[in-house]
Amino acid sequence: MNTGLSALMVTAIANTCLHTLSGPDHYVPFIAISRARQWSVTKTILWTMLCGLGHVSGSIILGVGAIVLGWSMSKIGWFDAIRGGFAGWALLTFGFLYALWGLWRAHRNAAHKHFDVMGDEVYVYAHKHGDYVKPTDRKKVTPFLLFIIFAFGPCEPLIPLMAHPAASASYWNLFLLVSVFTLFTLATMVTMVLLGYFGFPLLRTERIEKYLHFLGGITIMICGAGMVFLGW
């Protein structure tokens, strides 16, 4: 495995673990529903993994555009000489812009999806920090609705990472990247759900959650900078 691919793998792992750990929405609903419906450990894990796969699939589907663009450019003769540097600069630029957008979004207090546990039920709604949410704005969550929410809520930072192996027309590297991202997403989700299922205290990540996109952009920017300036 070359240094550039290793850097992409580390960035993908960092992003997916950060994305999952700092977002209680990735595990609290499963804990609440499993308790309310008295699910077994096996059923809880299966639903968690199913929704996790839907989450990853949404990212991969959105990344198809990056894959098509990368493979198209890999067939252009003059691009072959510059694609390594181009990919690094593209990651660096995207990471920088994504971090700026994440910082702006955090301070703008944009509306975002949130889950709330009330009694034996779980509800989902969109809100801004500090705003009052009327009961009529909440929608009761079912396992199927939870899967739909995860499938249509992809992890955006994976998409530019997919473009790098695509630009090299490397099916194997792309498969490795997606596989590692999927594995760590599912592992982190299941770990947090099991901790809550068995009553262990969960991490308090409310303050980190609003800066999730900013932190994701920083990790991508570091990866791009390493490729551009350190020859990863």
> pLDDT for 85-123, tens place per residue?
666 787 888 889 988 988 888 777 666 666 766 666 677
Q: Are strands 139-140 and 112-118 parallel, antiparallel or unpaired?
A: unpaired
- Phi then psi for residue 181, to 5 deg, are -60, -45
Q: What counts of helices (H) and strands (E) characterise the chain?
A: 9, 3
Query: Of 83, 63, 56, 228, whose CA–CA distance to 169 is shortest?
Result: 83
Query: Tens digits of per-residue pLDDT, 113-157?
Result: 667 666 666 777 665 655 555 545 667 778 888 888 888 877 776
Q: How far apart are the first and last CA of the chain?
A: 12
Residue pair 183/16 in contact (Cβ under 8 Å)? The answer is no
Whole-prediction pTM: 0.78
- DSSP result, 152-212: TS--TTHHHHHHHHHHTT-HHHHHHHHHHHHHHHHHHHHHHHHHHHTTPPPP--HHHHTTH
In angstroms, the CA 210 to CA 6 distance is 28
Point out which residues pair with 113 in neighbouring strands.
Answer: 126
* pLDDT score for 78: 46
Residue pair 69/190 in contact (Cβ under 8 Å)? The answer is no
Count of CA atoms in the C-beta half-sphere (13 A) of 7 = 22
Higher pLDDT, 208 or 1: 208
Higher pLDDT, 208 or 218: 218
Is the pLDDT confidence value at 179 over 60?
yes
Which residues make Cβ contacts (< 8 Å) with residue 178, sequence separation at least 6? 56, 60, 158, 162
Higher pLDDT, 202 or 128: 202
